[in-house]
Structure formats: structure tokens, C-alpha cells
Amino acid sequence: MKVVLNSFQGDYSDSPRALYEALRERGDDHEYVWLSRPDRVADFPAEVATVDFGSAEARAALESADVVVSNDHIGFDWDKRPGTTYLQTWHGTPLKRIHNDVLWAPEGRLAYLDTEIARWDALLSQNPASTPRFRQAFGFTGPVHETGYPRNDVLSSPDRDRIRAEVRAQLGIADRVTAVLYTPTWRDDLVFAEGGGPQHTFPLDLNEFAAGLGEDHVLLLRLHQMVADRLEFPEGGPVRDVSSHPDIRYLYLAADVLVTDYSSTMFDFAVTGRPIVNFTYDLDYFKDELRGFYFDLAAAAPGPLLATSDEVLAAIAELSSRPWVPTPQYTRFQETFCSLEDGHATERVLDLFFPSQQQNDEPRR
């Protein structure tokens, strides 16, 4: 059986990676091909067969696949042959409105993406709250499997402390240093209206913000993949740009605090039980004009919504002053969005789509 995998248009990451590694560990005798970007091919293990994303070879791989596994829209034209199973794992719980539900999108973008959705045979959902929103936004009538996300299994793994120590050592973070992971989402107007310009801006000076955290903290900046190439920081400064780190799930383990705005990273990071700070400086504009939300963030968020960098710095300082104890609001957030994140999502997906070869060598839908 030939399995073709894609993550974020050419990365070695996310749920497709977790599924691939589990299949390899199980010893299944399949042919695997990954779509990769030339600038990320070094992230793939040496034994992995790759083809350049968007190339004629990538199209040929997809068109000859028995199973396609992707966590995002593939984003270039290919013909799905009869008998191929396309498993769309997707990549996050939607707070922000997506696809047909967005308040604004560039002309023709949604219609083009509909051609991709028409190829899907099944879709994964991280939690019961996401399922009806996926169906509505994508107009998808096929099966949606509430399995949790395979990528997040490592956050509950018995090896998580060992992996955390290894990742922090790789990043040069000392034991007593508090790692603050900042994961702002992308803004549609900046990405599309600027015509793909080279820069991305923030309403605060990130170097100044990082310095304000103090010497016993380090700011890890993880930009969204839509804008990760638009901001540059000099080496040796107070901001560590980890946007090019191969897989964010390992950054979750390394971090002590998450700072985000409306990113789906909050739903993943909550699996760790560590504190989350929402820096929502443009809340009204993002919610009412730019993208729109599926639910009231203020009511559902794991903590208070903060509008200024001074408030965020104060909140992080307070967290450092005493041991963190999850609040009732944080616990409700976990119960709503993390109920399936028990470390066994990969097993559930394999049982559904890749039953052991002793049972059946055909993928299910």
C-alpha cells in the first residue's frame, strides 16, 4: 500500500508525522512518500522518501497513492484516482471562523479550496465542540471522527519529561529559566492585502517585551506558518525565533507558559496543564471585522484576556511568584476542548484507517 503524507505544505510535523512514526514503529510494510519543501527537507529522517511539494513528482505521488494523509489543504491541482482514501487530519480547534464562515476572503480562494475538500474521504476532530463547526464551515458530509489529535499524544506520554529536558537542552534553556512560548496567529489583511510583502509587524516591540520578562525568562517566538518568513531577529538578542523548529508539539513540552491571542495552539497547550495567557490587543477588530469567532472567547478562555504588553508582563511575573494551580476557568477549558487528548489518539486513528496487516491490508473510510 502506498501512503503519501503532507503537513503544512511540506513540513515533517503534526499528526501526519505522528501517524507515520507509529506505522513505522509497528513495522507495517507500506511504501511511504512525503511532500517536502526544499528548505525543510533536512528535517526529514534520512530513510524518508520525499518529493518536492508542488512538483510534477508530488502530483504523480498523490495520483498513485492508496492513502493520502494531510493536515491542511494541499494547495495544488491533482487528480484523485478511484479507490484512494484521503484522510484529512486538519490542524486545530477552530475559535476563528474558517472557510465558508469567514467574514472576508480573497476573491476565488474559497471556491478553489472547495475542490480540495471534495477529495476528502474522512476528517479528524480534536473534540466534540469542533465537529459541527467543521461540517458547517467545510460543507463536508463525510465521516468526522472524534479521535483527538495524534500530534498531541506526546504531551501525555510517559516520556514527556525526558523529551522536555532534551528539547530545552537543544534550545539552550537552563533548568531554572522560565520559557515563555509566544504563538500569535496570522492576520488575513496583512497576509493577503499586502500582496505577500516581506515583513510582518506587531503592535509592540518584541525585543523590549522579551527584556521586560527578566533574565530568568526567555521568550520563544513561534510565528504562524503563513507569516513565518516575514520577520527577522538578529542572533544573540532577547527573542529566540523558533518559527523554523520542525514540530511545535516539542516546543509545548519545553515551554512553561504559553502567550497567544486567538491561535489554536491554546487548545493543544492546555493538555500540558501549564498556564496560558491570552494577549488580545486587537480583540474587537479581529472578532467583529477581520475573521469572526465561533464562540465568546472571554467566557471560554483558559484565563483573562489582556490588552497591553504591561498586563501580560505582570501576569507572567505573578505566575513566577508562586506555584501554578489551574483555575476553575482553565479546568472548564480543558474539559471542553481536551477531553479526547489522553495520549491514545494515534491508536484510535490507526484502528480506523490502518488496521494491523494481520487484520486487513486495506484502509478504511
Answer yes or no: are the C-beta atoms of 76 and 115 closer than 8 Å.
no
Query: Any idea where the domains of the chain sit in the sequence?
Result: 2-151+343-353, 158-337
Question: Residue 290 corresponds to which cell in the numbers above?
Answer: 477581520
Q: What is the mean pLDDT of the chain?
A: 91
pLDDT tens column, 137-190: 999 999 999 999 999 999 999 999 999 999 999 999 999 999 999 999 856 555
For range 193-217, the mean pLDDT: 72
The H or E element that residue 3 is part of is strand 2-6
Same topology between domain 2-151+343-353 and domain 158-337: yes
Select, from the ranges 118-127, 231-240, 354-363, the one with the highest average predicted confidence (pLDDT): 118-127
Residue 126, exposed/middle/buried by CB under 10 A (0-12, 13-18, 19+)?
buried
Is residue 70 predicted with pLDDT exceeding 70? yes
Q: What pLDDT is recorded for position 228? A: 44
Can you give the pLDDT at residue 337?
98
Q: Quick one: pLDDT at residue 105? A: 85
- What angle separates helix 345-353 from helix 14-26, to the nearest 10 degrees? 70
Q: Which one is predicted more confidently, 359 or 38? A: 38
**Dihedral, CA of residue 137, residue 140, residue 141 and residue 144, to nearest 10:** -90
Residue-wise pLDDT for 271-291, tens only, equals: 999 999 999 999 999 899 888
Enter the C-alpha cell of residue 238: 532577547
Three-state DSSP string of the chain: CEEEEECCCCCCCHHHHHHHHHHHHHCCCCEEEEEECCCCHHHCCCCCCEEECCCHHHHHHHHCCCEEEECCCCCCCCCCCCCCEEEECCCCCCCECCHHHCCCCCCCHHHHHHHHHCCCCEEEECCCCCHHHHHHHHCCCCCEEECCCHHHHHHHCCCHHHHHHHHHHHHCCCCCCEEEEEECCCCHHHHHHCCCCCCCCCCCCHHHHHHHCCCCEEEEECCCCCCCCCCCCCCCCCEEECCCCCCHHHHHHHCCEEEECCCCHHHHHHHHCCCEEEECCCHHHHHHHHCCECCCHHHHCCCCEECCHHHHHHHHHHHHHCCCCCCHHHHHHHHHHCCCCCCCHHHHHHHHHCCCCCCCCCCCC
Lowest mean pLDDT among 246-255, 261-270, 350-359: 350-359
> In the prediction, which pLDDT does 202 show?
65
What integer pLDDT is reported at residue 360 of this predicted model?
A: 55
Question: Which numeric CATH code is attached to 158-337?
Answer: 3.40.50.12580
Size (the chain), residues: 365
Instruction: Compute the distance between CA of residue 90 and CA of residue 72 in angstroms, rounded to an integer.
Output: 5
Per CATH, is 2-151+343-353 categorized as 3.40.50.11820? yes
Q: Average pLDDT in the 55-82 region?
A: 97
Strand partners, 218: 179
Average pLDDT (324-334) is: 97
Confidence at 129, pLDDT banded by 50, 70, 90:
very high
